[in-house]
Chains A and B, each alone.
Chain A
Amino acid sequence: MDYVIVIFFIASFLALLSSVLVFFLKDMLYAVLALTMLFIFNSLLFLVLQQPLLAVIQIFIMVGGVSTFLFVGVASAELMQFRFTKLAGLLLLWVVVFAAIAYPMYSKGVRISSTSINTFGTQEIAASLGQYYALYYVMMLLLFTVSIGAIVALKRMGDGR
C-alpha cells in the first residue's frame, strides 16, 4: 500500500516536472524529449491506477507514435546541433528510474486497495467495442485523411522551390 503511494508521488512529480520543462527548454529536441518523459510517467500513473492495458496503449500510441512523429518531423531539423550533454544524461537517468519503479509493480502485483478491479479487461473492452464500430472507422478516416493531406502539403511545398 505504502509502496504504491510512494510510486504515485514520484511519478506525478516527475510528470509535472517534465511538463514544466517543455516550456522552459530552449532547444526543441529537448522539449520533445521532456514531452516523451511526460508520456512515460503518465503510463506509470496508469499502472498505479491498475490499468496495465491503458499503460501499454499509452506507450504504444503516444511514445511510439506521437513522439516518433515529433522527432522525425520537427526535431530532426535540430539534430545537427545535438550533442550529448548533462541534460541527456538526466533523461537517461529518468528512464532507468522508471524501469526500476515499474518492474516490481509487475512482479509483485501491488494493488491500491482490495476492492480495485481491472475495469479495462478483455471482456469489458470487447463488449464496449461492439457497439461503436462506426466511431473507430471515423477515427481511422481522420488519421488517414490527415496523413495523406500532410504528405500532399509537404510535396507541394517541395515543388514550389
Chain B
Amino acid sequence: MITMMTYFVYVCFALFALGISGVAASRNFIVMMLSIEIAIVAATLLATVIFTAGGQAGIMQLLFALFTIAAAEVMTLIVFYRYLSRYELSMDVAKLSRLKDK
C-alpha cells in the first residue's frame, strides 16, 4: 500500500534529482549554485520525512547545519558573482576552468 510518506519521498527524490541535474547539465555558475540550494532543500525535506515517520526529534542539529551551509553558500555566491561581474569575466564554468589566463 502506498502511503502518504511514499509520495513525500518521491517528491524529495525528484527535487534532489532536479538539483543534481542542474549542477551537472548547466554551464552557468549562478544556476549551478542555485541548483545546490534546491538539492539542500530536498535533503532537509527528506530528512524531516524520514525522521517524522520514525518519530524521533534528533535531527534539529542536522537541519540547522544544512540551513547554515545554504546561507554560507549564498554568501560565497555573492562574492564570486561580484568578482566575475567586476572584472567582466564569463559566468561559463568551462571558461572558468582555465585558472592561469586571468
Chain A contacts for B22, CB-based, 8 A: 22-23
Count, A-B residue pairs, CB within 8 A: 140
Q: How would residues 11 to 48 of chain A score, 1 for a CB under 8 Å from any chain B CB and 0 otherwise?
A: 01001100110110000100110010011001001100
How many residues of chain B are within 8 Å of chain A by beta carbon?
Answer: 49
How many angstroms from the CA of A124 to the CA of B51 in the assembled complex? 13
Contact, CB under 8 Å: A22 / B52 = no
- Taking a contact as CB atoms closer than 8 A, the residue among B30, B41, B57 that contacts A119 in the complex is B57
A50–B4 alpha-carbon span in the complex (Å)? 13
| B79 part of interface (Cβ distance < 8 Å) | yes
Contact A73 B81 (CB under 8 A): yes
**Closest partner residue, chain B, to A31 (CB atom):** B34
Q: Which residues on the A side are within 8 Å of B7 (C-beta)?
A: 8-9, 12
Alpha-carbon gap, A73 to B49, bound state (A) = 32
Q: List 22 A-B contacts (CB under 8 A).
A: A9-B7, A12-B11, A31-B30, A31-B34, A35-B34, A35-B37, A35-B38, A42-B45, A45-B45, A46-B48, A49-B52, A57-B67, A61-B70, A69-B71, A73-B82, A77-B85, A117-B55, A120-B60, A128-B61, A139-B65, A142-B72, A157-B83
